[in-house]
Structure 1
Amino acid sequence: MKFSTTLKALGLTAAVALAPLTVSGAQAAGTLTVATTIDPGSWDPIDTFLVPWSSAATNMFDGLTARGADMKLQPALATSWEFLDNNGRIRFKLRQNVKFHNGEPFNAEAVKFTFDRLLGDEGKKGPQQSNYNSIAKVEIVDDYTVDFVMKQPDPVLLTKLAGYGGMIVPPKYIQEKGDAHFNMNPVGTGPFKFVEYTPKVNLVLEAFPEHWGGAPKLDKVVTRFIPEANTQVAELQAGRIDIATLIPFGLAPTVEKSPNLNLVSITGPTVVALRLNTKDGITKDVNVRKALIMAVDREAIIKAVLLGHGKPIASFQSELSFGNDPTLKPLPFDLAKAKQMLQEAKVPAGAPVRIDFRGNDATFREVAQAAAGYFQALGLKPSLQPHEPPVLLNDIIPNGKTGEAWHNAWGGWTFDYDNTAYLMYHSGEKWNPYDNDPKLNALLEKQRTIYDTKEREKILQEVARYVADQALEIPLYNQNTVLGVNKRVKNFVPPADLRFRFNDVTVE
């Protein structure tokens, strides 16, 4: 890995070695093999929020709506929808002649069962229920029409219905077999049907020729659970997997140079920031916070640590996010100006700045080292405090135990700034341990009541500008989604959110 002179002076190092090849046996033609990092442990849509679940399960299930790799929302199991009763009711017309993989018919009863279950006792056990709590109930109008009666407006609902908890499940199958059986033996209406699941090893799907969207071109899709990045790359190079979803930045050039592989690097949902403690220490002062932002050369970090696989951000969202303001520019890197601002704020030399971060994130460890180096150049005394992720996420941050800065990485598959901003900046939220800003609260609450996209976008952009003006965080970068793909894979359009849909994919 090659570093810029600036970051070399900070002592960054990185060494990544290929793991030995351990798994044998190439896949048959007509079979696509994908490596993902985590076995979700359950294939029930209401049991998880994990991207690896969606990477595989989006091929087994359909929602009322769908979102393609082009990010556009489109009809799926619902062919159309309209807002009634001053937006208090959403009426969906359902697709006819659709079957679940077990032969059970899809109809209004299946939709009502899915959401009664999601919003009831079974849904309480998982993490998805809170995403759909704006729905009071689902009413059947006729066999192929349902009404969603709303407790409150939810302008992101149509997008939510395209994924995760909103996936439609078969009533009779679940009632007869039970939830535990469904977790391990899922049935949906998607283009591929469940064949076999070996925990911690793989999930095997085969084509469902009767899919309403047409028969897939592949015979099988195999998802292998490989948590180690080096092993994924090694298996990809050996031809034993076709798509690797975990490519370390340090190995991206290796994949790129391999004659049988393509490196795919596209804008994704993941953004990374150093959030700032606005309650204690030197970072109570907004001008000190702005000085810290200006002291960090984010372009250099992207070039040296991410090897260019990322973009600077002005707010905590990607350029694909609804609510992103392209006219908002990040504060520039200006160490001299930052020093002057600290002097004007009467910050003593050697004042402490602690950075809390996820200790298992090797990439961010280098980013944190770089940030510490810049803070040291500013005349401060930085320290790095790694934590086990559950400790940082469930104790240190929500209980306000951080130092002056802490590591925050966020995705948000909806690509809607509300999914980030409300959780980060509204008072009382888990990820906002320090602030209670009435103006910010009011803006965040107002946009949730508005279905008009232009009006709502203006408010979200105002939120982003206000957060930037208050310098609540050091926005670092939008990290690219990086994949390794075997050249034998054809017609594959990589989605930014890794929610793969393999209907049109073929392998040679």
Structure 2
Amino acid sequence: MRLNLSTVFAAGICASLAAPAAAQDILTVAQRQDPQNWDPVDTFLVAWGSVASNIYDGLVRRDENLDLQPGLAESWEVLDEGMRLRFKLREGVSFHNGEPFDAEAVKYTFDRLLGEVGGTGPQQSNYTTIDHVEIIDDYTVDFHMAQPDPVMLTKLAGYGAMIVPPDYIEEVGEEEFDMNPVGTGPFKFESYTQGAQVELSANEDYFDGVPEVDGLVFRFIREDATRLAELQSGAVDIMADVAFSAVPTIDSAGNLEIVSVPGPTIYSLALKTVEPAATADLRVRKALNMAIDKQALIDAFLAGRGQPIDSLQGELSFGYDPEMEGYAYDPEAARALLEEAGVPQGAEMTIDYRAGNSTFNEVAQALTGFFANVGLKVGLNPIEDGVFLNEIVPQGRTNEMYQFSWGGWTFDFDNTAYLSYHEGEKWNPYGTSEEMNALLEEQRNSTDQAEREEILQEIARLAHEEAYHIPLYNEETVYAVADGVEGFVPAPDKRLRLNSVSLSDQ
């Protein structure tokens, strides 16, 4: 979209306010969710990654083919049987505020992540296998590991490991940094209007080349129909979080294109496993699994763009077991189990779910029909995202069933399983078992990938046997792109890096 940049970035990016500003190439992206905080240690949201992957860099970068590439580190070595990782850093790189990037910045980033500040957010537990970071010289650091971590290089390409500027944070404080981030990435933060949009400008000193467009605007539009209307009107160039019901409309438009790729995101219902909930009974949890026809949900509400799942991962995930058989759709067997468990016909239960996702809203309504077919009266309780994610689930205040959707960005089951099943984790409010805890720790301690894969598959089987969740489907990552957008490559992990995207004259 070609705009007068002074209109978009009123903070004063234009070189001269006296002279008319030249038309600028501003790429506008619409997505459903506003992350509401730009600090890497404070987020777990895929919606954060789609924006902030353009603001920050990690030591390692993962490309759209899920291959690891050099980022702020030019190279690395795995030493001492995985107990030490050595990184050679890029020289001549600066943060957006002019502060130099060097080994001190790397050490500060991880001291902060692993310390008190990181302890208040959800990212720290992904990185606790790091004992400490040692500065060897200005552009060399060693990561000393508390234990080997076969997923660490991938994690260093992700969320909590984005490198942050020490001097800036110490000067402005944590709360200011939350709302006014500074990184080394291809785009600089300019302004943020909570609930509306964030504006970025091109970093002309970026070490990997100047971006093709002059700026980015990410608009946060919760309503699927409104996002689609903005795309159709030309006010949006790329739309993320495409409602599957909108795919035929977009496909039939002459100036729009659907671009999709297999993604990491899974949807499930987590089950409350403690008394007095009826779902504390394993027989009830199994019955609820047997009550649902997953393929029917995919066909009806995902336009066929998804796969049924039997664990909390899709086929691209390391740890996926193609031989594992889930609970077959069997309403008769479900009714028998409920009767055996003493659940009366017409028993009431409730599904808590995140409001604002029209597709899952439709899925949730269909789920009540499946449950009614086995004699249950299930109600729906839509909850605002912030309340659901920060109060209801972590504090164990859910009803019998609650939405569990997860963007497994590492494509390694460890990331999902550990945070979902290990004792004390934010997304495991009701606990699992000592056996599960031991398996999760065992795979993290293993440096043998074949052995670790077997353990991850055992974890998936144990979770299946205990029916902690009702796994539903792994959905494709779907984008809608307007004519004139060139060079857009969809990211399976939804972490868009848009520095190579350009806009042609229309």
**TM-score, length-scaled by structure 1:** 0.85
2:456 corresponding residue in structure 1: 460
SS of the residue aligned with 2:326? Answer: coil
C-alpha change, 1:291 and 1:260, in structure 2 (3 Å) is same
1:307 corresponding residue in structure 2: 303
Q: CA deviation at 1:302?
A: 1.4
Q: CA deviation at 1:121?
A: 4.2
1:506 corresponding residue in structure 2: 502
Letter in 1 for 2:237: D
Contact 1:481 1:496 (8 Å CA) reproduced:
yes
List runs of 5+ in structure 2 lacking aligned partners: 1-6, 9-21
CA distance in 2, matches of 1:71, 1:166: 17
Tell which deviates more after alignment, 289-298 or 401-410: 401-410
Q: Residue 478 of structure 1: which of 471, 474, 498 is its match?
A: 474
Tell which deviates more after alignment, 321-330 or 179-188: 179-188
List runs of 5+ in structure 1 lacking aligned partners: 1-23
Contact 2:281 2:341 (8 Å CA) reproduced:
no
* Percent pairwise identity: 52
Q: Residue 451 of structure 1: which of 439, 447, 456 is its match?
A: 447
CA distance in 1, matches of 2:432, 2:34: 38
Alignment pair present for 1:244 and 2:220? no
Q: CA deviation at 1:303?
A: 1.3
SS of the residue aligned with 1:236? Answer: helix
C-alpha change, 1:136 and 1:474, in structure 2 (3 Å) is same
2:183 corresponding residue in structure 1: 188
C-alpha change, 1:438 and 1:346, in structure 2 (3 Å) is closer
CA distance in 2, matches of 1:312, 1:109: 46
CA distance in 1, matches of 2:198, 2:245: 29
Q: Residue 411 of structure 1: which of 396, 407, 412 is its match?
A: 407
Contact 1:276 1:474 (8 Å CA) reproduced:
yes
Q: Residue 354 of structure 1: which of 343, 349, 356 is its match?
A: 349
C-alpha change, 1:421 and 1:183, in structure 2 (3 Å) is closer
SS of the residue aligned with 1:209? Answer: coil
Contact 2:259 2:479 (8 Å CA) reproduced:
yes
> Could you list the per-position Cα deviations for residues 62-94 of structure 1 after superposition, in whole angstroms to 9, with x for gaps in the alignment?
100111111222221112223334433222121
Q: Which runs of 4+ in 1 moved over 6 A?
A: none
Letter in 2 for 1:317: Q
Tell which deviates more after alignment, 415-424 or 348-357: 348-357
For the aligned residues, what is the CA RMSD?
A: 3.0
Q: CA deviation at 1:286?
A: 4.1
CA distance in 1, matches of 2:165, 2:483: 37
Alignment pair present for 1:78 and 2:73? yes
> Could you list the per-position Cα deviations for residues 418-450 of structure 1 after superposition, in whole angstroms to 9, with x for gaps in the alignment?
222123223444444445423222211101112
Q: CA deviation at 1:260?
A: 0.8
Alignment pair present for 1:62 and 2:30? no
CA distance in 1, matches of 2:121, 2:338: 46
Letter in 2 for 1:82: E
> Could you list the per-position Cα deviations for residues 213-267 of structure 1 after superposition, in whole angstroms to 9, with x for gaps in the alignment?
2232223222223333222111111111101123323323222222111123333
Q: CA deviation at 1:203?
A: 2.9
CA distance in 2, matches of 1:491, 1:429: 40
Q: Residue 496 of structure 1: which of 465, 481, 492 is its match?
A: 492
Contact 1:113 1:171 (8 Å CA) reproduced:
yes
CA distance in 2, matches of 1:40, 1:489: 25
Alignment pair present for 1:376 and 2:372? yes
> Could you list the per-position Cα deviations for residues 8-39 of structure 1 after superposition, in whole angstroms to 9, with x for gaps in the alignment?
xxxxxxxxxxxxxxxx99x9563211123344
C-alpha change, 1:276 and 1:113, in structure 2 (3 Å) is closer
Report how many residues are paired: 482
**TM-score, length-scaled by structure 2:** 0.85
Contact 2:43 2:121 (8 Å CA) reproduced:
yes
Q: CA deviation at 1:155?
A: 3.2
2:157 corresponding residue in structure 1: 162
1:138 corresponding residue in structure 2: 133
Contact 1:29 1:507 (8 Å CA) reproduced:
no
